[in-house]
Chains A and B, each alone.
Chain A
Amino acid sequence: MSDAALHPPVETLHGAAPVAHASVAQIFLEFLLIGATSFGGVVPYLRGSLVTKRNWLDDKEFVEMLSISQSLPGLNATNMAVLVGEKLRGALGSIAAITGICLPGAALMYIVGIFYRIHGDHIWITAALKGVAAAAVGLILSTVVGLSKKSLAGKVDFVFIALTVIAVNRLHQSVPRTLIAVGLLAVLFHRPRNKQKESAAQ
């Protein structure tokens, strides 16, 4: 995920939301194109295509959908496809969008998998893969840093991050158990305060 993906500019809504005219076939083709070209992280490509080029969404909707996508299980890319497809054309739109965005990468990795199975122990390839795996670790760390800058509400959140890491890596707790235990703790910590309740009631 690139930096642009992590810091989408938040703009206010100018006037009405764009009126979207998209057929199921158009949705499929647009997402197929994104799925085939989005090297290095899907989100910036989604924005360029859906907001800038097609005008199917405005920036405010895009950021909202992205924040929903991030809170749900599932990859941002496929969750966004489902949400955008649903907005444009309901269930069929969702299916067209997620199929389109997955198809090129899935086909490519199918071929890569076969190739790797046959040639994976070639000395050139094992040497290259050591570098690739190390680079991928750096990439994930940069995603962690970017997300932390963007979505943490306070210093206490670092305690929840630490608890999660310790539970999984040190105590070898399963991911769902950790998710439920630490997640519940964190959600309760961020529970609606009276002030928020009042402003929500207004």
Chain B
Amino acid sequence: MNQVPALVRVFAYLSLLTVGGGMAAFPEMKILTVEVHKWLTFLQLIHLYSVGQMAPGPNMMMIVAIGQWAGGILGAVAALFAFFGPTALLAFIVARLWRKLEKWPWRSSIQQGLAPVSIGLLLAGCFTMAKGAIFGVETAAIAVGVLLILLQYKINPALLVLGGAVLGVFSFMPK
């Protein structure tokens, strides 16, 4: 069955939810890609997202892999355009409008009001992901360790995710 129209619908919708970051759309992404369309499993979604953190560029490029799985190269391209097209158009329009609204008193109200909601959405996405990614002492220790290191030191997060891979091999390889 041709999955391209469904991919376009799903990722165009998800793109509009990424307020504050890609993670904000994660709970909805889980429902649509895993439960509704069954393009991949929840664990695969977590893995692709996490591996994507080591890739350069915008950090939601894992959507390309989902598109590829569901619909081949056409699916990958469709997912890419659907996920970045709508928000790019919106940013383009707002870029022009926002400058004119500099004196509009509600402008800062909107920014101040959206800040906690977007942080809440990121956190909600994080909890959704943690349900699948944190399942014991080792994984909890890795997550807390990365958090503490990043809060304390200026270190490239991609290196820490890579470090997580090494720790994973040591912790979870069958003896």
CB of A145 within 8 Å of the partner chain: yes
Interfacial chain B residues near A1, Cβ < 8 Å: 21, 157
Contact A114 B68 (CB under 8 A): yes
Contact A134 B48 (CB under 8 A): no
Contact A2 B90 (CB under 8 A): no
Contact B58 A133 (CB under 8 A): no
CB < 8 Å neighbour of A127 from B24, B123, B159, B168 = B168
Interfacial chain A residues near B117, Cβ < 8 Å: 160-161, 164, 178-179, 182-183, 186
Stretch from A15-23, A33-41, A47-55 forming part of the interface with B: A33-41
Give the contact-size bracket for chain A: 35 or more
Closest to A41 in B: B157
CB of B10 within 8 Å of the partner chain: no
Contact B47 A73 (CB under 8 A): no
The A-contacting residues of B in range 108-159, CB under 8 angstroms, are 108-130, 132-134, 138-140, 142-147, 150-151, 154-159
Residues of B within 8 A of A (CB): 15-25, 27-28, 44, 46-62, 64-66, 68-69, 73, 76, 80, 84, 87-88, 90-92, 94-96, 98, 103-106, 108-130, 132-134, 138-140, 142-147, 150-151, 154-161, 163-169, 171-174
Contact B21 A75 (CB under 8 A): yes
Interfacial chain B residues near A101, Cβ < 8 Å: 57-58
Is chain B's binding surface mostly helix, strand, loop or mixed?
Answer: helix
CB of A9 within 8 Å of the partner chain: no
CB < 8 Å neighbour of B132 from A2, A126, A133, A183 = A133
Q: Scoring A residues 1 to 45 as 1 if CB is less than 8 Å from chain B, else 0, what string do you get?
A: 111100000000000000000000000000000111111111000
Contact A192 B109 (CB under 8 A): yes
Q: With A102-B61, A108-B55, A109-B62 as given contacts, are A138 and B144 in contact (CB-CB < 8 Å)?
A: yes
Bound together, the chains give a CA A137 to CA B133 distance in angstroms of 8
Interfacial chain A residues near B160, Cβ < 8 Å: 135, 138-139
Bound together, the chains give a CA A192 to CA B122 distance in angstroms of 26
Interfacial chain B residues near A75, Cβ < 8 Å: 18, 21-22, 58-60, 87
Contact A127 B65 (CB under 8 A): no
Bound together, the chains give a CA A192 to CA B124 distance in angstroms of 28
Q: With A67-B111, A82-B95, A102-B61 as given contacts, are A131 and B171 in contact (CB-CB < 8 Å)?
A: yes
Known: A131-B168, A145-B151, A167-B124. 11 other contacts (CB 8 A): A78-B88, A91-B92, A106-B80, A109-B55, A131-B167, A137-B133, A140-B23, A164-B117, A165-B123, A190-B112, A192-B108
Interfacial chain B residues near A186, Cβ < 8 Å: 112-114, 116-117
Interfacial chain A residues near B151, Cβ < 8 Å: 142, 145
